[in-house]
Structure 1
Amino acid sequence: MKCRAVLAGAALALAGCAAKAPPPPASSLQTPAAWRSSDSGAGAAQVEPQWWQAYGDPALTALVAAALEHNGDLRIARSRVAQYRALVGVAAAGQKANVFVDTAPTRTRQLAYNGIPYVTNVYQAEFQASYEVDVWGRLAALTDAATATYQAEQANADAAALSIAATVASGYLNLRGLDAQLALTEATLKLREESRDLAKRQFDVGYSSRLEWLQAQAEYQATAEQLPQLRRSIFEQENALAILAGGNPGPIARGAELEKLEAPSVPAGLPSELLRRRPDIARAEYNLIAVNANLQATRDQLLPSFKLTAAGGVQNLKWHDFVNAPTALWRLTGAVAAPVFEGDRVQHQTDAAAAQRDQSVFAYENAVRTAFAETDNSLGAIYRLKEQAVQNDARRATAAETLRIAHNRYRNGYASYLEELDAQRTLYNADVGRLQLKTRILVASVDLYRAMGGGWVAKK
């Protein structure tokens, strides 16, 4: 009992030799109870893993699948995951015994004491095994740090996949919005052409002035000018999506028309659920775990290390004896090593590791707050855009009725063509606004999926 008490006291005394690490900063993070938006999605469907299928467009689903498989940035991220998975094995190997084998047959020619040279053959084979006893848990802490770093890289790859899927979905929906605007502009151009030809005929017969004809011509040219701009935007959007999908610049297959695409119902969820669904939050958490483990390993550098070494082998001066009856050699060593004085190097390293830990704490809190803000902003955007769409529908209905009245007045000679032309512009702008709002609502729903973690669930 007395011996055990002495050993325990010695262990406590040695443990006191570890560097001193300051305590972590107090958390200032507070999780809100609910979202600010009045359209919080209570009772709606949960986020699905392959959420992009909720839009019901096979072309969108195929495009996202191609991007998740072939995107260059994702392939880099997955390669980094494989790299850090291997580094976990490197760290774990430090907790295992190391065995080395060495064979060194030697032939030497030397001078004897009487000056006569002679030749000596030495046949030798030796193996050596060494093992460090992890008394203080330093090697285990290094393995824990490598494991947490690997998990952080896995979460980083998941975050990249979520970002790529959301970017592709947003780009495709924007592309369909541009397609719809191009179709609207082409249809409007035909109407402008008819109005221009009518104004020209009425000018030729003296029914209207040259000013009205020129204004109709100018309106036709203004509408025609928008077509190349829209086609260029479509061309560039297609190329961007093709690159995201891991291919060369080229055309993109289309699916459902913009009018048939509907934003899925707003997913339900409380702010606390983001802590397990967002991969960037998980990445920050794993980084914090890794830094804490590295801090422990750095702090324990001042503690003594215990190593066991065993070596054995055979040796003889003649090959026949070496093969048949070699001389066996062995040795067994137990070593205790500890730094005595290093100019406070370890303490300064510990202070630096503690500062990294504090930075990781703050980074984690910032990631959580950013997640709260992005989700709340996305919920608010959908709610307000839907309100705006209601007003746009009312404005478009008014513009359509105004154009009908103006057209009848012009046909019956009660008003000039300028009145109808102004009504046409108003209706066209309302139609463009309707298409843009529809696209923005769809893209805002993608942003919400991205903000809510996109169905990704942290692997515990």
Structure 2
Amino acid sequence: MNKQLSNYSVSALLLSCLAACAVGPDYQKPDVAMPKGWQTNTSFHPAEPSDGVLKGNWWEMFGDEQLNQLEQQAAQHNQSLVVAAERLNQARLQVTASSSIQLPQVDLQASDARFKTSANRPLAVYGMPNSSVVQNNPQLGFAVGYEADLFGRVRRVVEGVKAAEGQATADFENTKLMLMSDLAADYFNLRELDVEIDIVEKGVVLQAKALDFIRIRHDLEAASGLDLAEQQALLDTNKTQLVLLQNQRSSVQNALSTLTGTPAPEFKLAPQVVKLVAPSLPVGLPADVLQRRPDVASAERAMAVANANIGVARAAYYPTIMLQANGGWDSNQMANLFNAPSILWSLGAGLTQHLFDAGKTTANVKIAESSYVAATANYRQSVLIAMQEVQTGIDSMAILNGANHQAEAAEASSARVLELANDRYTGGLDIYLNVISAQQSLLASQRQAVQIHGQQMLNAVYLVKALGGGWQGMVAAH
């Protein structure tokens, strides 16, 4: 008796060990070498990101109510975001569907038939002739099937599906981040064009007045025909520039309509001249990118999926064990169906083991292992790209700040040159060509300053996207 108990204990322990193990490697996130900091002269404070926290409304840091409304509209109506949301929903449902294979499957079976046997059927017992019989055959029963996951195939399948759900979640967040950042970039591009158009329109008005002034002087024979023609050419040139800028604005406005899920003919944003000032941004530490970037998170979850698939492939080396139980009632009369003699049942187990598959299982394992190597390389590449984009944004921030100071100085100098050129021409000390040149120089300086402001706004959006979107409790850099 003790020997039987000992054998039972050993068997139970063996089964417990098998149940606790699963074929294939356990997933471990690979280490990635990260630099200690960014190459920048701008001081910043370390961030405290929270992995798994949904991205906040980061666009609100720009303080533009029109942008906030457009972002909310895009979140509700953009069709690309709807597609990403449905893919996430499918991934979550797939987890539910796949997790069900960890539990027994129970089926109910019921039938009722009336049949006639053939008198000419083959004999079951020689010496006893067959006869034709008409019978009823009602049946009611159930079947229970369960895969004994001793080698962990089912667990690896569920593990992979759950990792795929995490990947779909990260993909949804990445789609949302890309959408919101593209919309913000187009919006600030539109507002930069509004300011630039306003500058050119004011220049056209002033140049038209200057043309009238030159025409009067020409009529009084105080100005030459060349002066008049040069001023007319300048006016026509800037009118052409105005038309081209308005065409650019129309294209950007149409792009915004699609991003917000609105038909282009029904979408219109009134021109608005606003001062474009980029906000200070918290850049954090390089390691934070691993926690904030949804595309990096997606690549990491793809590794987990590939790792689980290795276990699924290796499980084909081991037998599949199915436990089955059947029971119910079978009778030739409905009235006797639930009588005790009508009860039937069966308990059993089935084992399937591939003995020869011409190398199919080995090839599938190598394919799974190769996929994991590729997924790991893709993850490392996504981290490198993330660091590249953040570093580019930081570099551009410093460079554009310096360019902005130079542009402001150039605009002030050009305004002074135009003032002096007008005074000299009015006093008869200089030719009008110098006035034309000074006007063009001032207009170019003004437009350049506005364009740099626009680039600062776009770079701020780019840096937000590179950093992964919203932050929780972060301190801005100055």
Normalising by the residue count of structure 2, what TM-score does the alignment of the two structures yield? 0.88
Instruction: Measure, in 1, the Cα distance between the counterparts of 2:352 and 2:366.
Output: 23
For residues 66-215 of structure 1, the aligned pairs below 5 Å read 66-112=73-119, 117-215=132-230
Residue 118 of structure 1: how far off its partner (Å) = 3.0
Instruction: Measure, in 1, the Cα distance between the counterparts of 2:174 and 2:384.
Output: 17
AA of the residue aligned to 1:408:
D
Match 2:60 to one of 43, 46, 53 = 53
Stretches of structure 1 lacking an aligned partner (at least 5 in a row): none
Preserved contact between residue 110 and residue 140 of structure 2 (Cα < 8 Å): yes
Higher mean alpha-carbon deviation, 384-393 vs 27-36, is at 27-36
Residue 236 of structure 1: how far off its partner (Å) = 1.4
Which residue is 1:274 aligned to?
A: 289
Which residue is 2:263 aligned to?
A: 248
Match 1:449 to one of 454, 461, 464 = 464
Preserved contact between residue 27 and residue 304 of structure 2 (Cα < 8 Å): no
Preserved contact between residue 60 and residue 255 of structure 1 (Cα < 8 Å): no
Aligned: 1:304 with 2:319: yes
Which residue is 1:412 aligned to?
A: 427
Residue 40 of structure 1: how far off its partner (Å) = 5.0
AA of the residue aligned to 2:213:
L
Instruction: Measure, in 1, the Cα distance between the counterparts of 2:458 and 2:445.
Output: 20
Instruction: Measure, in 2, the Cα distance between the counterparts of 1:107 and 1:20.
Output: 53
Instruction: Measure, in 2, the Cα distance between the counterparts of 1:46 and 1:252.
Output: 38
Instruction: Measure, in 2, the Cα distance between the counterparts of 1:44 and 1:97.
Output: 48
Q: Deviations over 1:57-115 (max 9, x none)?
A: 10000101111221111100110011111111121111110111111212112244767
AA of the residue aligned to 2:105:
N
SS across alignment from 2:345: strand
Q: Quote the sequence identity (%).
A: 27
SS across alignment from 2:337: helix
Instruction: Measure, in 2, the Cα distance between the counterparts of 1:294 and 1:254.
Output: 54
Residue 325 of structure 1: how far off its partner (Å) = 5.7
AA of the residue aligned to 1:3:
N
AA of the residue aligned to 1:258:
V
Preserved contact between residue 88 and residue 172 of structure 2 (Cα < 8 Å): yes
Aligned: 1:262 with 2:277: yes
Instruction: Measure, in 2, the Cα distance between the counterparts of 1:268 and 1:45.
Output: 11
Instruction: Measure, in 2, the Cα distance between the counterparts of 1:12 and 1:330.
Output: 28
Preserved contact between residue 181 and residue 435 of structure 1 (Cα < 8 Å): yes
SS across alignment from 1:94: helix
Residue 351 of structure 1: how far off its partner (Å) = 0.4
Match 2:37 to one of 25, 34, 38 = 34
Instruction: Measure, in 2, the Cα distance between the counterparts of 1:237 and 1:14.
Output: 62
Preserved contact between residue 292 and residue 468 of structure 2 (Cα < 8 Å): yes
Normalising by the residue count of structure 1, what TM-score does the alignment of the two structures yield? 0.92
Instruction: Measure, in 2, the Cα distance between the counterparts of 1:255 and 1:192.
Output: 22
Match 1:3 to one of 2, 7, 10 = 7
Q: Deviations over 1:24-45 (max 9, x none)?
A: 9996842011111222534799
Match 1:391 to one of 394, 406, 411 = 406
Instruction: Measure, in 2, the Cα distance between the counterparts of 1:33 and 1:115.
Output: 91
Preserved contact between residue 19 and residue 302 of structure 1 (Cα < 8 Å): no
Instruction: Measure, in 2, the Cα distance between the counterparts of 1:450 and 1:13.
Output: 47
Aligned length: 453
Taking a change above 3 Å as real, the CA distance of residues 213 and 305 of structure 1, as seen in their structure-2 partners, is: same
Instruction: Measure, in 2, the Cα distance between the counterparts of 1:159 and 1:36.
Output: 26
Stretches of structure 2 lacking an aligned partner (at least 5 in a row): 120-127, 473-478
